[in-house]
Amino acid sequence: MTRLGNIGVGGKNPVRIMGILNTSPESFYKKSIKTTKQNISKSIMKMEIDGADFIDIGGMSTAPYLSTIISEKVELNRISKAIKIIQNVSNLPISVDTCRASVAKSALDLGADIINDISGLKYDEKMIDVISKYDPSLILGAFSIKKISGNQVVLAKSLLKKSIDTLKKIGFSSNKIVVDPAIGFFRRSGKGPFFTKINSDWVTRDIQIIQSLNSIKQNYPVLISVSNKSFIGKLLGKDDPSDRLFGSIAAEIVAVQNGADIIRTHNILETNDAIKVALKLSKGNKGL
């Protein structure tokens, strides 16, 4: 059975909820940003009450359309502060959203349970050494440094397989791996390094991915993160991320119906309630 931290995921486990804590003031969704001890503590306690199974800390925004690169030192300082605060108020497993080996290492030294690398270990060549030494749970994002073209579902599977194959070479346990097809991170162009360049329409790509999750999983639990993202805005004609709640919930429910095992979201209570009702009304879905 696959576990993220000490929580079983995938298979017959219920759909899990990963709450997002952004400590980066440059993040695209301003309501998710928490930088003070008091705000972080209150946010984490509310996430736990609302039904979060994990907390995912981001110390640097990786939105492709923003110029948000910061130093590793600043990213680490933000994440370290948040980890210590969370550990004082909650026992939920802590995930750290980073592509940088030095940040991952320090976070694991502090007791983080999960590394969420949207580059699938491809951005920083030293990340595999950190993973080999610390043996954390992993979320692998679909990612390519080079521009790609072709069937986006097939490409997502191929990119994820390359990351998994890298882990197999070091004998990493497959029971600690979750895959993420990286909604929002495949674009024609962008301002940061944390996205994959494609020739096709990125909104169409994201729609196809959500429709094809059971194919993309490759026997691994799959995490989906669509909360308040740009493709929701495009579908609804809403530029302000704060106006995308209902669209986000709809996309999350469809993702679950199509095979998602973990939903990473800003909207924990709303998402949790919606998933519970959807599963009760759907024959044959997990959670019944």
The alpha carbon of 166 is separated from its chain's Cα centroid by a whole number of angstroms, namely: 20
Task: Express as a percent the part of the chain with pLDDT over 70.
Answer: 95
Listed range (9-23, 66-80, 228-242) with the worst mean pLDDT: 66-80
Q: Which 3-state string (H, E, C) describes 91-120?
A: CCCEEEECCCHHHHHHHHHCCCCEEEECCC
Residue 100 covered by a domain: yes
Number of domains in the chain: 1
At 225, which CATH number?
3.20.20.20
Sign of CA dihedral 67, 32, 224, 236: negative
- CB burial of 201-210 (b: ≥16 within 10 Å; e: otherwise) equals ebeebbbbbb
Summarised one tens digit per residue, pLDDT across range 240-249 is: 988 999 999 9
Residue 220 covered by a domain: yes
Residue 287 covered by a domain: no
Range of the domain at 248: 2-281
Class of residue 105 by CB neighbours under 10 A (exposed 0-12, middle 13-18, buried 19+): buried
Residue 288 covered by a domain: no
Cα–Cα distance for residue pair 4/133, rounded to 1 Å: 17
Looking at residue 288, its pLDDT comes to 39
Summarised one tens digit per residue, pLDDT across range 50-66 is: 999 999 999 887 767 66
Phi, psi of 277 (to 5 degrees): -70, -45
Q: Sorting pLDDT into bands at 50, 70 and 90, what band is 139?
A: very high
Residue 168 covered by a domain: yes
Which of 20-24, 128-132, 242-246 holds the top average pLDDT? 128-132
Mean per-residue pLDDT for 29-39?
A: 80
> Global pTM?
0.94
